[in-house]
Each structure stands twice: as C-alpha cells, then as structure tokens.
Structure 1
C-alpha cells in the first residue's frame, strides 16, 4: 500500500512516496531513524543564583540634585531541582517570580553570570546538548504568510543534520504534522494580527512541532497555554504529557493552569521573588501545605491556592504578605531542601548515547544549503510584498506623471532636464531607504529565536535576505527608467541610457544599504523612519541642486551625501565637458558653466562611482554587525 505525500516548497512540488509496509523497517523510515538518535536526559540544577545590576535614581528634592547608585537585584536565589526522562516539571509563580528566567537559564539561553550548577546527564551545556534540546517561547514567532507544512518543512531542512537526506527531512516534517494533530490545517497559512490564519491552539502546536522536528530529549516551554481556552490548553498539555511518556524530559512555565492540567504534572516547582516555596509531586501539594499550617478554606484549584501563597496571601488572611512568604521559605528549608539535595546526589543511570553526532559541528547544514533554503523561504514569505499591487501602481503612476511633466524636454530647456535628473535622484533615494528600514525590525524575533536554536549562520541569513530583495529592487526601477527616460527626452543612445540606468541602480542599492543599517541599528520603526527622513533630507539639500554655494563650515555634508554622487553621475550620463546649450540672446554657452552643473561638476565620475561602491559595502557591514546583537546562543558564565 502506498501513500503520496505532497509538500509544496516555493512553488515546487516535492512528492514523496511513503511505503506504509516499509514502516516496519527502521532503516527505511525517516522518523524511526530519528528516534534511534534520541538520548534520555536527566536535568539537574543546584543552587542556581542569578542577579542583575541596575542604577537606582535618587532625587534630592530639597537640593534639586540627582544622584544614583548601582544596586543588585536577586532574580533567582539558590533554586534547585531534578527532572528525569519521562517527567514533566511545571514551574508556577506570579509575574516577576523568576520562573521564565530559570527556564531560560536551564535552556542555555540566558546571557550573564549564573552561580550554581546546571548539568545535563552530569555534563555542562554543549553544542551537542543544544541539538538535543527544544525551546518553545511564549510568543509564537512564525512567518505569517507560510503554510503550516511550509513552516515545518523549511525548519526541518535547516535544523536536521546532513545525515538525513532531503526526502527524509520532508518525511520527518510530515510525521510531526500527524503527531501534533495538524493534518486539517496543514495547507493553511499561519497568519498574524492582521492576517487570518490558523487558530491560536494550532499556532502553538506548530511552534511545538518545530522543536519536535529534532526529536529533542529535553523540551522547554514558556507559558504554552497562554491565551488559550481551557479545552485547547488541555489538548496542548495532553500532547506534552504524551511526549514525556515517550522518555523525554519536559520543563515548562505555566501561570494559572486549571485543576485538570495541574494533576497532569509529575513535578511542580513554586517560585516567589526568586525563592523556591515548593518542589515535589503535584499530587502532594495540598497535603504538604496543610502540614506546614496553610489549609485551604474550601475545595479549590491547587494552582490558585499556590499562587495565593506565592503572593503572600494566607487562606485566612490573618498575616501580612512578608510574614507568609518568610514562613513558606523557612518551611521549604526545613522540609524539602534536604530531600532535593538527596535527589541531586543520586547516581544517574548510565545512558548509552547515540554516536550519530559524536563529532558534531556548530551547524547542522552547510552555508550554501542554509543560503538556498533561506532564500526560497524569504521569496515565498515576501512575495506578497514584492508583487504588492499598491507598490507597483505607485511606481507606475509616478513614472507616468514624471514622463508627462517632462515630456520630450530638450537641451534648450536645460534647467528642466537637470530637474528631472535630480527628481530621480531624490525619489530613488527615499523610496528604497524606507522599504529597507522595514526589512529587519519585523523579523527580529524570528531571527533571535532561530539563531538561538542554532538553525543557521547570520551571514547566510543576511545574504539570503539581500538577494531576495533583488527582484523588486531591480525590476521596478528599470520600468521607471524606461518610461521616464524616453518620455523625458533624454539622450537617445545606448551608452547614455545604460550609464543612466546603472547609476540609478547603484544609488538605489546604496540607499537600501543605509536603510538596512538604520533598521538593524535602531530596531524601532518609528525612530528609524524619523532618523532616515532627517538624513535623506540633509543629503538632498546638500546634493548640489538646491544650494550651489554651501557655506564652508557645513560643506563637509555634501561629501557624505548619496545624492551628491548620484547627481554627478546622472549629469555625466547626459552631458560632457565642451557641450553647449542655447542661452540668453541667441548665444550658446558651455554646459559645464550652467549653475546647477557647475556646483557639482562633470569631472570625477570614476571617483563618485567608487565612493558609492564603498558606501554600498560599508552600510551593509554596519547592518550585519548590528544584527549580531540579536540571536545566537549567549555565552553563559557559571561560578
């Protein structure tokens, strides 16, 4: 019996024949191969301490002076615990209790200095462990215009190592779709705030599915039920429970689970202000707190009871918050701390580790593979932007109006022709700049998540992102040039036309590079747009058309103005030294003496081109190094 599984990737139908009878043969089945590589992981963390420094401002009102002092805030205070294969640990606590910080630290993603020890099968966090660890963030950071299948297939192609063939990787993605119950929506787009797509629960299952592609032994989840209704939350946690039963170690934070969910947790860790108040079986919670003097007044959700206690609210409300928390911390120290220490000191069962990734490198795939996959994904995700009707209509309308306004202008109307050149300089300075500013900020969270899981190199993402912009970066300007050049009556020879075209394309690339740099450095669309407007207006004013006699103390601006060099090259495409034009009284004058030309000059064409090429490189290097701030696995120091 044979089943056809069709996966659509960037318009290409990748058809995979899955022999259902061959599933009994581990050597032929991609998922079975994947399961063989799974190594159970015991997670131990002992006396984990995390502090942050901050500047405390003091306002001396009477003296009207300000002073500040550097203080430390303890986020985690000697938190310990053990999670074994087959167990699901839920970390509970009010907002600000430190549960997300602890989860991030255990997942190897917390930057800074940690005190204490965190071990995975008695070993520190490593590249190998990162490949064997899944981390699901609270927010579902996904590409909105990709379908469920495309999302998982692209992730599989990037995250699974080259020991898997392309067909096997696609097979793994197909099996995860079935495993996570996503069959009904696999051809639906993910969607977003302004784009209808799959439901919130389905989106969360896609996020979990992305991590399940690597068949992790250790799975971390931050608030997996946040924003979901109780039924959907129940399905998500049931899925996680099943994953734990398969021998995985599951650790999650959860804010306020229902009682049905609560009793599914094998272990519970209750945090308050960075301190542990309870660690143990979920089924023993009520019994423990009754033994230390905190008895609920009525039947209630154990999670609600724990959150009340973590907030310092006793059942009878007879004591203040500080007193309640101090009693709970003392009770933990006297009744639970020693048991945790004993559990931490237990010898671990020797686990035979898979030798599949013995000589594991930093990346699962090559640079070229990453580039090609990211390029296909970017083209697929952004085709709605590239071929947006309004964007195309905008360029066509502007080009048509420009052609009409400068209809067949001749050298006898030199000022008009030069005005056309400078308008093109300005328009194709602003337009690509603002398009590029929006390139990186919207994708910041996606890049941070994917890079922290070690999916790809930053350089492969950066180059793929640049190349994916080329179609509309080149096509629309070429259409604009063809329309305006001949309608505007510019020189009708091939050399002048291509000189004009390539100059404009180079200038567009430079402006786009500046936009990329601004977007990557600032990462705030409003601030980056404002800064870009100020810069481009400054460059426009100093470009040599509006002001020909710039004061010496501010003349330096024109040497960094993109417009100045672009304008010079466009003038060089149409006019040469020694050419004349009709001027006052029937006389002829040299073009190089015309005021708007004289201030810029017709010489130095090669230098201007070289400067633009240097700007092209420098702006993109700035953008690249700015992007290095986001994503990647932080280097954690332990003491």
Structure 2
C-alpha cells in the first residue's frame, strides 16, 4: 500500500490478517466519501376519487432536492418527524431504492456498484434474524458467507469472537435470538447482533436505520457509543434517528434535517442552533437541540420573535413556518453546499485513488464460491429448522392419520377392489396436498431475510434456492416413508417387497412434485394469505380431476386432469399394484379382470413411463418458475 498518493486516506483494518497474505480484504477496507446532490424521489399513489368506486393516481414527492456529504470518520444523522423521508433517503444511499431516483449519489466519485455493495453495511430498523439460531451461530454463519475465502474458517471464527467482545454480547453468546412464539435475547442485544453482522465485513460505509428505536436511554447510549467508535476507525457512518437525547445528539458530526421530504438544514450538528437563531428561530430556554429541530421540522416554532421585512410578527402557522425554513435553506445553505461539493471535486482527492483498488472494487463479483455458499446456507437452514422440522405435532399428525387409515382399511381383501383403489387414491391425494401446503409458506416467511441478505451481496440466488429446497428434503421424505410403511401393510395391499418399494417411490416422487408447486405458488405471490387461497383452489381442482371421483370427464374440460399430478400419481400407483393379467373375485363364483373394472379401465394400466416423464417435467418446471419468481423479489 506504499504507492498511495498523499491525498488518499490509509485503509483501516479492524482485525489482523494472516501473515504473508495477499487477501483482497486489504482493498475492501478503503475509506469512502459519500456525496449526494439534488436527490428527488417521487412515487405514484392511488386515491379514491369523489365518485363512488373510482380511483385516481397522483404523484407524491418523498425526497425533494436533498444535498449533502459525509467523509470517513464522520457520523451523519438524518433527523425529521415520521414520514419526512429519512428511511427513503438512507435506502437510496445504500443503493436499495426501487423506482426512479433523480439526482446524483457518488462513492469516491464512483457510481454504486456490486463492489461497493459488498463494502456497505446496512442495518435495518427491524432486526431480521433467525429466531432459533444462537448469537454466536448467527454471527458465525454471516462471517462464513460474507468474509472472503482467503480467510480460513478459524480466522473467520476469530473475527466473530472479536465482534462479540467488542459489542458486549459475551453474556448472551449462547442464547437463542428468539421470536414471537418464544423468548430470546433482549431488543438491545438483537440490535447489537444486527450491527455485529455488518461489522464482520469491516464496512467502509455503515448505514443504520433507527438504531435506537424502542430502546431505553442507557442501551441507546451504549449502541451509539459503539457506532461512534466504528466511525472513529475511519468508516463513513450515516444513520436515521427519530428523537435522540441531547447526549446522543452531541455525538453526531453532521445533521440533515428533513421536513416532509424537503431539507431545512444540512451541516455540522454543532452549528444547527446558531443557524436557526440567525434566521430568527431561537429559544431562550436550554433545550435538547434535537427537540428544537424536530419542532421546527413539524412547523412548530419555539418561543421566538421572527420578524419579517416589514417588521411585524409572522403568523405561527405550521405551513408558513415550513415555507420560511425551506426558503431560508435555499438562500443560506444550498449555495454553500454546492460550493463545498465543487471544491471537493476539484481538490484532487477523488481522482488520485489507488488504481488497483478502484479496479478491484468494480471487478470482484463474489467473495466466496458457489459451493461454499450452498454448503453454509444448507448447514444454517438445517440448524435453524431443527426445532420446527421434526416437531412432535407434525410427526403426530402424520402417524395418527396413517394408523387411523390403516385401521379403516385393515387387511382389505382382494375382492374389495373398490376399497383398495380408494386407498391408492388416498395416497396420491394426502401426499399431493400435505407437502404443498407446507411448501407454500417457505418463501413468504423468508422474504425479509432474503431481501436483507441479497441486498448485501451475501450469496447467489441459485445457491440459496438449492440449499433451501435440499434442506427441506429430509423431513419431506421421512414422514411419507413412515406413513407408507404403516398404512401399506395394515391396509393389506400386495405383500410383495418390489411392489411396496415401487409404491413408496411413487409417493415420494409425488411429494417432490407437490412441494415444487407449493414453492412456485409461494414465490410468485409472496403473501401467505393469497398463496394459501390459491393453493386450496388448485388442490380442490386437482382432487376432482384426479381420475377417481369423475371417471368420464366431458371432452371440453378433459385437459384439466392432465394438469393434475394427483392423476399421474394415482395412475402410477394402480400400475404398480396391478398388471394386465390380474384378476379379482367379482362374485361368489366368478373372477373378473382388474383391467375391466370401470375405475381402473378409465385410468388404464399402460404408458407408465410417460406418466413418470410428465411428472418430471412438472417437478423441474414448477421449481424453475419458483426460482424465476424469486428474481423479482427486490428491495423494499
């Protein structure tokens, strides 16, 4: 690093690198100067018109001409009441804002890129964490995914230990995170775990959305002290904060104050009160500066005497006060900011950066291999779902249905062919719908986690998708295997080992196909209520068209049964259980061909390999649709 120009800040390492290492980590810690100029963001919202049932669309401005800059070692705080655009601005700075944003955001005079994304830590307001993992497991899996493969597993573990110590998480390191259904660590500890996940990569740019919301003043102070220490190490820190205490406020270097999307102050935190005094908004009381700023942003004036050019008092109307503040900002602050940004551009800092670092920022795509991502995600998924997967309720549910079904079909004689066929159809229906309803929940429940981790450039979508689906297989296949073992022999079906194994394979095949459809429905809709509604309609149609209830479907709708995997599974189970030359006792003295029985005749016992092929197309097709649908899951 000795060839850096004199204008280039020295990279800061938060943890030791292995000896004689040429790790790319050395380049990833390059300090970032963040600049944003004239940011404008508008969204279209639908409103109910004056006439009944009519809707009209109008455009709402969320951000309106916001400019600012924050350098390494500084904390920029964005203040403003709820709905003022703080989170939208932070999301835009993190490159996560969907929709059209006008203006310019630059990182060391470079546009946002994948390299910068992997050097940016983003802590959302809501702590999105897996409830069944411990604090150590959560941080360790994050380290395995986000730190480069040039570091060994032990070295990544050392970084995790350092972060746990630095954030004061030692006491709860082996405690589960917890969720709505069971108690885990406290809110402050969860927030520190979220910050710790971002600290692991030693980010050059750290963005935090309301890091102190819902926390008591002591915990908030501790978290902001940690953030201040991170900034002093050479990082660029931007945070939104709703109502900071005066102690917290004085930790900020710069402040952006927003009112309904428009800036009314941008500059040093220490100079905010002087600025507002200079434009006629002052108070004689000793108040928390943040309280005064938020009052002004809400259009509430302090005990001030604001004098207009004519010399009379201005009416204290919120709208009037906001307009006066915006007008003063345009006149006094906006011009100064533009001049500062121009001076920074001309200072030469941005253009004398290390060329190799710059090219590495752009070129590096992923810091770990596909296989590494897949194996880590698989381990994490199995560990997270070890409690919910083989829970007693699901096991009891399946085993009890198997035993009850076995008792109802207890040793059904060969002459009762209707009952035997009904049992085979029950196989295809139960294991066509049960896995589907379980799979429907998979991706909607993981949506927030997927958005968070993919936004950080943590892993490829393909490695996540495969790990998530493979991780579910042990449970998805173990329960139907136990089910078939119980009900097959109790029901008195063909007592031949080959027939039994083939029947089991058909049921497992059906499970995989139905699971694929459930994943596709969940991924397309990404809403549990909508997905379960569509799943129930689909399963009902498949049930009716499965070939058992309606054997002579009218020609104009006969195509419906060919979409039902229950139809193919039922046909395969019949084909495995019976052959063309099988007979059953149809009366006391007469034997009839199974193939001639109406229910079997309508299905047929031939072309079984074609049915296997069609189900294979469904299996692959539904999963491919689910994968494509996940590509649409973008930032919030």
Taking structure 2 as the reference length, what is the TM-score of the superposition?
0.91
Preserved CA contact (<8 Å) 1:517 1:619: yes
Inter-partner Cα distance in structure 1 for 2:194 and 2:497: 54
**Residue correspondence of structure 1 range 74-223 to structure 2 within 5 A:** 74-223=61-210
Inter-partner Cα distance in structure 2 for 1:25 and 1:173: 13
The match for 2:573 among 563, 570, 573 is 570
The match for 2:225 among 228, 232, 238 is 238
Partner of 2:544: 541
Preserved CA contact (<8 Å) 1:449 1:631: no
Partner of 1:426: 429
Shift of 1:114: 2.1
Partner of 2:394: 391
Are 1:523 and 2:514 an aligned pair?
Answer: no
Preserved CA contact (<8 Å) 1:50 1:115: yes
**Residue correspondence of structure 1 range 195-594 to structure 2 within 5 A:** 195-296=182-283, 298-315=285-302, 318-346=315-343, 347=347, 349=349, 353=354, 355=356, 358-359=359-360, 360-594=363-597
Compared CA separation, residues 24 and 66, structure 1 to 2 (3 A): closer
Shift of 1:215: 0.4
Partner of 1:44: 35
Shift of 1:241: 0.7
* SS of alignment partner, residue 77 of structure 1: strand
1:546-572 deviation line (CA, Å, top 9, x unaligned): 122222333221111111111100111
Partner of 1:7: none
CA RMSD of aligned residues (A): 2.3
Inter-partner Cα distance in structure 1 for 2:54 and 2:189: 52
Shift of 1:281: 1.7
* SS of alignment partner, residue 100 of structure 2: strand
Compared CA separation, residues 433 and 531, structure 1 to 2 (3 A): same
Shift of 1:33: 9.6
Which of 246-255 and 392-401 deviates more?
392-401
Preserved CA contact (<8 Å) 2:27 2:357: no
Partner of 1:637: none
Preserved CA contact (<8 Å) 1:36 1:354: no
* SS of alignment partner, residue 76 of structure 2: strand
* SS of alignment partner, residue 383 of structure 1: coil
* SS of alignment partner, residue 501 of structure 1: helix
Which of 434-443 and 158-167 deviates more?
158-167
Inter-partner Cα distance in structure 2 for 1:563 and 1:159: 43
* SS of alignment partner, residue 336 of structure 1: helix
Inter-partner Cα distance in structure 1 for 2:147 and 2:348: 29
Inter-partner Cα distance in structure 2 for 1:24 and 1:95: 38
Inter-partner Cα distance in structure 1 for 2:210 and 2:20: 33
Compared CA separation, residues 140 and 25, structure 1 to 2 (3 A): closer
1:287-310 deviation line (CA, Å, top 9, x unaligned): 221221112363322222211111
Preserved CA contact (<8 Å) 2:25 2:148: no
Preserved CA contact (<8 Å) 1:87 1:250: yes
Inter-partner Cα distance in structure 2 for 1:24 and 1:458: 29
The match for 2:59 among 58, 68, 72 is 72
* SS of alignment partner, residue 412 of structure 1: coil
Inter-partner Cα distance in structure 1 for 2:113 and 2:27: 20
Unaligned runs of 5+ in 1: 1-22, 635-639
Inter-partner Cα distance in structure 1 for 2:65 and 2:398: 61
Inter-partner Cα distance in structure 2 for 1:269 and 1:459: 40
Preserved CA contact (<8 Å) 1:128 1:357: no
Inter-partner Cα distance in structure 1 for 2:470 and 2:25: 33
Inter-partner Cα distance in structure 2 for 1:441 and 1:573: 37
1:17-45 deviation line (CA, Å, top 9, x unaligned): xxxxxx99864499x99577521211111
Inter-partner Cα distance in structure 2 for 1:352 and 1:325: 41
* SS of alignment partner, residue 502 of structure 1: helix
Shift of 1:612: 0.9
Are 1:606 and 2:609 an aligned pair?
Answer: yes
Taking structure 1 as the reference length, what is the TM-score of the superposition?
0.91
Inter-partner Cα distance in structure 1 for 2:526 and 2:201: 31
* SS of alignment partner, residue 397 of structure 1: helix
Preserved CA contact (<8 Å) 1:93 1:307: yes
* SS of alignment partner, residue 566 of structure 1: helix
Preserved CA contact (<8 Å) 2:410 2:491: yes
* SS of alignment partner, residue 416 of structure 2: helix
Inter-partner Cα distance in structure 1 for 2:298 and 2:616: 60
Which of 485-494 and 582-591 deviates more?
582-591
Inter-partner Cα distance in structure 1 for 2:217 and 2:632: 38
Preserved CA contact (<8 Å) 2:46 2:58: yes
Compared CA separation, residues 169 and 348, structure 1 to 2 (3 A): farther
Inter-partner Cα distance in structure 2 for 1:368 and 1:505: 27
Unaligned runs of 5+ in 2: 1-13, 305-314
Question: Larger strand proportion, structure 1 or 2?
Answer: 1
